[in-house]
Amino acid sequence: MSQTKTSKPSAVQTTGHAWDGDIQEFNNPLPSWWLWAFYATVVFAVVYWVFYPAWPVAGSYTKGVMNDITFVDSNGKSKTTHWNTRSALLRDLQESKTAVLSRDYLNKVAAASYAEILGDPEMMAFTRSMARGIFGDNCAPCHGSGGAGVIGLFPNLADDDWLWGGSVGDIQATVKNGHFGFMPAFGEVFDDAQLDDIASYVLSLSGHPVDAAASRRGKAIFQTNEGGCYYCHTHQATGLKSQGAANLTDQIWTIADVNGAADLAGKKERVKQVIANGVQRRMPSWSERLSAAQIKLLTVYVHELGGGQ
């Protein structure tokens, strides 16, 4: 194509350079739409300088005119500043349509009791949609977007088993203050046979067909001060809520992946590992990161996830 073009005589002027003897360059004018768009950006820039912060002057800068922002500060006082992104954000939070709408709902939910929220379909609909986002941003990385958790690391919130209690009050306290779940490691305290016995007893509690003699020996450690397991797991092995101790009598396992093991020996090995190594799980406190109203929404959401108590 270039060949046909250069071989034809053209009305367009060349720049006058010639490389390698015969390579020349056309001097076409810029397309007019491009040129006008360029002039428009120049005009836009000059207008922008007038209305927005732009040029540095001494220790300050031109602040822009006729573009002030008024917002209400944390003390309830009205404040007017030149245009800037921070004030624009505050105004957006206070005046934009969606922010006002969600704030009205948020205030309504914040003022209501848990019983009122749970009984009001409109407040519940708002809670579900708003808390879903809060949960996704803050809780889902550990507990999973559906609340299923990770066995061994983070509790499942979508079942009806609650380590630290499943009432709205318990859940709110958990979200607000966080938790430190701790079980000591018994690997140094007991020998392998004893750990085996304790694991057998623990599995027998949830109806696994373990060796009865081993289970009896394990029970003697579990239920006495020798092991002291009952301090937190209780004599009934249903777990003490104040310690976040697991209920060992059900089929729900949050630390040892018992249900994931193929046979009884595998299940026992997994329980044994937990007894030997102990457990340290920490949930952060959210009282500084989330507002009281946000924590309330989350509480209701989490309560609903697992069919709370």
- What are the residues binding other proteins (CB under 8 A)? 15-17, 53, 56, 59-61, 71, 73-75, 77, 79, 81, 84-90, 92-93, 96, 99, 133, 137-138, 140-142, 144-145, 150, 153-154, 280-284, 288-289
Crossing angle, helix 292-305 and helix 121-134, to 10 degrees? 100
Helices marked H in 135-260: 140-143, 168-177, 192-205, 212-222, 230-233
CA distance 56 to 39: 24
Q: Which residues of 274-283 are buried (b: 16+ CB within 10 A; e: fewer)?
A: bbbeebebeb
Query: At CA 188, angle to CA 182 and CA 194, rounded to 5?
Result: 100
CA distance 284 to 154: 12
Give the DSSP letter of residue 159: S
Residue among 299, 303, 269 nearest 287 (CA): 299
CA distance 179 to 165: 12
Count of alpha carbons within 13 Å of 81, Cβ hemisphere only? 15
CA distance 217 to 206: 17
- Max CA separation in the chain (angstroms): 107
CA distance 38 to 53: 22
Residue among 196, 190, 186 nearest 277 (CA): 186
Residue type, 217: R
Q: Measure CA 149 to chain center.
A: 12
Three-state SS for 63? coil
CA distance 180 to 210: 32
